[in-house]
Chains A and B, each alone.
Chain A
Amino acid sequence: MIALALFTGFALILLGLYGALTNRDLIRMIVAFTIADTGVNVVLVAVGYLPGRTAPILDAAVPVAEAAARVIDPVPQALVLTAIVIGLGVTALMLAYAWRLFRARGSLDISDFTELKW
């Protein structure tokens, strides 16, 4: 189960990276990065997962006293939440950039923006 999740996560990351490194279209690159981000999040969750435990939500089902033994590690979950938020911000920023680039240059091809080099 963990292995599968880990595998899925890494597969998504590689897929995303591959996509980002091979697609020249800005939007496609952004999408690819989103996929990779998702993969990272999956990996994060998978690493924190402990078989047979429940979500780290302290409610009636999981009393505080048993929490340490019954819930999975809450830290990766917290990380994932943060990472998702940040990923959202970054994606939004990239989209904003893509939009402004398109407006300014009329192109979405990353290989068109090479006036800065050497």
Chain B
Amino acid sequence: MTPQPGFQWIQILYALATLFVVLNYGLLMTALVQKIAARVSGRHGIPIWQNYVDLVKNFALRSQISHGVMYYMGPIFRLSGGIGLLLFVPTIYGLPWAQNFSFAGDLILALYFVFFGTLGMALGAGESGHPHSAIGVSRGLSQTTAAELPLALAVYAIAVQYHTLNIPQIVAAQQGGIAHWTLITNPLATIAAMFAYVGTMMRAPFDVVLAPQEIPIGPPTEYHSAYMALMQTNRAIFPVAKTVVYMNLFFGGASNWLEFALKVFALYLIPAIIGVVHPRFRVEQSIRFFLKWGLPVGVLAILVV
């Protein structure tokens, strides 16, 4: 394996540019998906720019409260987790300025950095002292343990398949048409990973973590104004960043921004579509679901690769 190229200062500007593109894309795309979901139920749905408005509104709130230091840190962790995940993974294959900070680490870094935001958020929510926050965290973590498992197995399977953990190399191996995508060359791993993907996107049937009618909104119950705005920003960036990882690993990556936009949108639509037609699982139900269906596929994937 060749040593990675080092760091140059210009990369910071490049990273900011990527961030800007992804942020806007995320804000619009999530609104669009919400609009689609509204149309499914016969509504008109939110305006496409609604996310921007909400963001501005939340930033513009005049009063704030604070529960303590970790409470401050929570949203910072959360957003840093999202941005970091985005920036540790090259966004566009072959586009030099969209390689971000991938010199720092490989796929494993991305895999484990996902937890960074979760951890910080959970801690921040914890310091608010609200029992619903704690309940939401308890549910979220419990569900994640089972949901992330198929992904870990799938990652192992494709790392063995491509004999690398380096994301650009994995994408490179998938170039040359849809037949080279992991989706086709290793369908088991892809299916296993999609279990994890659907399971961690916080949409029905796996959204008991937020459960707005039951434990107001789970971990972020106490968050508002600018804190909330940071988390909203993360809600725009993080799913996209995560989808980018999946896209790179299983769906041939993206070699230009258009392909990126289409693929991310298509992938993002999967949990959205599943979500609008399914009721909610309880936590133990979703854990059992992943252990019963996700795990065997993952195990098969690592056995046959």
Please say whether the chains A and B touch (CB closer than 8 A).
no
